[in-house]
Amino acid sequence: MARSLGVSLAEAYPQVAAMWLQERNGGLTPQKATPKMQVAVWWRCAAGHEWEETISTRTTLPKWKNGDVAACRECVGYRVSYTYPDCGHTVKVTPESAAKKRGRCWDCQSRWWQENEPRLKKELSAAAKAAAGRAGKLLDTVVLPADMPAPLAAEWRWWAAKHLQGAIAAEEKMGKEGRTDEVLASVTEMAARLTPTKEKAGRAAATDGVLRILNQAHWAEGWLHVLTGRGPRPVAEQDLQDIALILADYLQRWTDDAAAQVAQNRADGYGPPSTPQITKALTGAVLDFARTVLGPNCRAYRELRLPLVPDGKGRYGRADVVICSPLSPGLVIELDSRPNPASAQKLAFARDAGAFPLWVRFGEGGIDKTDGVMVLDLREAVRGVCDAQPSAGAS
């Protein structure tokens, strides 16, 4: 029958009102309360189970009550009483949660973590590193698809090992039993669906030039070349040289401006810029070149992963800057302060995949030539930036 808000709980739901625990509910009674009141009160069932719950929630009829509005969660097995051994708090939890046998309730665990966070992070990190061998053996049992490209298999293994090492450490240091099996199942499932298809690579190349696998951006032209064996599209050598010359002129003007700024900084008492600062500034100059010179239709990416594992590395290499243009091949740029064999391999991959590889070199060391890779030698220009001195009249 229809019930109005003016009807008391005792009148509307006498079977619920019969569980009212009056000695813990102060002056409020079932005769004064209404069924939809947002007030938490205490209840006791015929079996002696006690709990606190709002009146409005108590008078609802979820599935677990099986049609009995006065049903008790513990009596029907929907909740069980569990006492955490470490903190002593007793709460109503699901049987599945009780089976995990956690030592502390949520509030106590959070407080304990905050108090011990620095020490635990250090211990977890050490335990994860120590678990590398065990994680590797577990991953050796995972069967990878036969057509998975070797670079992608290497990237998957690096990613999966990190997750497994963390799971092993969590079991050892935080008592999270079963965590390793859970993560192993997850990374195994990921391996089964990682192999990129030719269709996927083609769609990515046709739409935005970027193929996303493992939540990381991969250069689609490289994937398409590796997967299909398609040769790189013909490139007008003169056009590429023109782009390189324009970028070289742009970076030369950047070094002039940077030298003036460094000279001013020295006048203000600061020292010369560090190599990371130079690298960051050069990267910003290249990105600015893409926006202002090549136009708004270009897309520029920083630290874009290529499907290539350089010699001696355990995961994909990253291109410092990749510039994609609808009217010209992709421009892959590496910026290095010293000779770097991994950069040479990444740029050679870009060359073979149909892109225009450009190596910006500054700092120390010689320059090793790589066929098909153009080098912009900024060593003297950047050295001039670092050595810039304030003028005699500067204050």
Residue-wise pLDDT for 54-66, tens only, equals 999 999 999 999 9
Please tell me the predicted confidence (pLDDT) of residue 233: 55
Please tell me the predicted confidence (pLDDT) of residue 219: 45
Question: C-alpha distances in angstroms, 238 versus 43, 231, 292, 352?
Answer: 85, 20, 21, 18
Which domain does 220 fall in, by range?
198-228
Share of the chain above pLDDT 90, in %: 34
Spatial distance between the Cα atoms of 55 and 181, rounded to a whole number of angstroms: 42
pLDDT tens digits for range 157-188:
888 999 999 999 999 887 788 899 999 999 99
Closest by Cα among 347, 358, 83, 142 to 245: 358
* 4 pLDDT tier (thresholds 50, 70, 90): very low
259 and 370 belong to one structural domain: yes
334 and 381 belong to one structural domain: yes
Instruction: Decide if 257 is inside a domain.
Output: yes
Instruction: Decide if 337 is inside a domain.
Output: yes
Please tell me the predicted confidence (pLDDT) of residue 205: 52
As for how many domains the chain has, the answer is: 4
359 and 303 belong to one structural domain: yes
Question: C-alpha distances in angstroms, 375 versus 153, 277, 379?
Answer: 31, 21, 11
Of 221 and 234, the structure prediction assigns the larger pLDDT to 234
375 and 263 belong to one structural domain: yes
* 35 pLDDT tier (thresholds 50, 70, 90): very high
pLDDT at 216 over 60: no
pLDDT at 51 over 60: yes
* 47 pLDDT tier (thresholds 50, 70, 90): very high
Please tell me the predicted confidence (pLDDT) of residue 194: 75
| Average pLDDT along the chain | 83
261 and 301 belong to one structural domain: yes
214 and 338 belong to one structural domain: no
Instruction: Decide if 101 is inside a domain.
Output: no
63 and 176 belong to one structural domain: no
Please tell me the predicted confidence (pLDDT) of residue 199: 67
* 39 pLDDT tier (thresholds 50, 70, 90): very high
Average pLDDT (200-211) is: 54
Please tell me the predicted confidence (pLDDT) of residue 149: 72
Average pLDDT (299-306) is: 82
Instruction: Decide if 83 is inside a domain.
Output: no
Please tell me the predicted confidence (pLDDT) of residue 220: 44
27 alpha-carbon distance from chain centroid = 53
In CATH, what number is assigned to the domain containing residue 273?
3.40.1350
Please tell me the predicted confidence (pLDDT) of residue 236: 66
251 and 381 belong to one structural domain: yes
188 and 204 belong to one structural domain: no
44 and 121 belong to one structural domain: no
Q: Locate 72 and state its tokens.
A: 């008790």
Instruction: Decide if 114 is inside a domain.
Output: yes
Strands 210-213 and 216-219: antiparallel
Of 203 and 134, the structure prediction assigns the larger pLDDT to 134
Mapping DSSP onto H, E and C, the string for the chain reads: CCCCCCCCHHHHCHHHHCCECHHHCCCCCCCCCCCCCCCEEEEECCCCCEEEEEHHHHCCCCHHHCCCCCCCHHHHCCCEEEECCCCCCEEEECHHHHHCCCCCCHHHHHHHHHHHHHHHHHHHHHHHHHCHHHHHHHHHCCCCCCCCCHHHHHHHHHHHHHHHHHHHHHHHHHCCCCHHHHHHHHHHHHHHCCCCCHHHHHHHHHHCCEEEECCEEEEHHHHHHHHHCCCCCCCCHHHHHHHHHHHHHHHHHHHHHHHHHHHHHHHCCCCCCCHHHHHHHHHHHHHHHHHHCCCCCCEEEEEEECCCCCCCCCCCCEEEEEEEECCEEEEEEEEECCCCHHHHHHHHHHHHCCCEEEEEECCCCCCCCCCCCEEEECHHHHHHHHHCCCCCCCC
pLDDT at 31 over 80: yes
pLDDT at 222 over 60: no
Please tell me the predicted confidence (pLDDT) of residue 2: 37
The most confident of the ranges 13-22, 235-244, 276-285, 349-358 is 13-22
Q: Which residues contact residue 340 at a Cβ distance below 8 angstroms, ignoring those fewer than 6 apart?
A: 334
pLDDT at 1 over 90: no
Please tell me the predicted confidence (pLDDT) of residue 100: 82
pLDDT at 334 over 60: yes
Spatial distance between the Cα atoms of 51 and 92, rounded to a whole number of angstroms: 8
Spatial distance between the Cα atoms of 68 and 54, rounded to a whole number of angstroms: 17
Please tell me the predicted confidence (pLDDT) of residue 318: 87
295 and 164 belong to one structural domain: no
Please tell me the predicted confidence (pLDDT) of residue 211: 43
The most confident of the ranges 68-82, 183-197, 245-259 is 68-82
Instruction: Decide if 172 is inside a domain.
Output: yes
Instruction: Decide if 91 is inside a domain.
Output: no
Instruction: Decide if 169 is inside a domain.
Output: yes
Spatial distance between the Cα atoms of 323 and 156, rounded to a whole number of angstroms: 26
CB-based contact 187:163 (threshold 8 Å): yes
Please tell me the predicted confidence (pLDDT) of residue 217: 42
185 and 209 belong to one structural domain: no
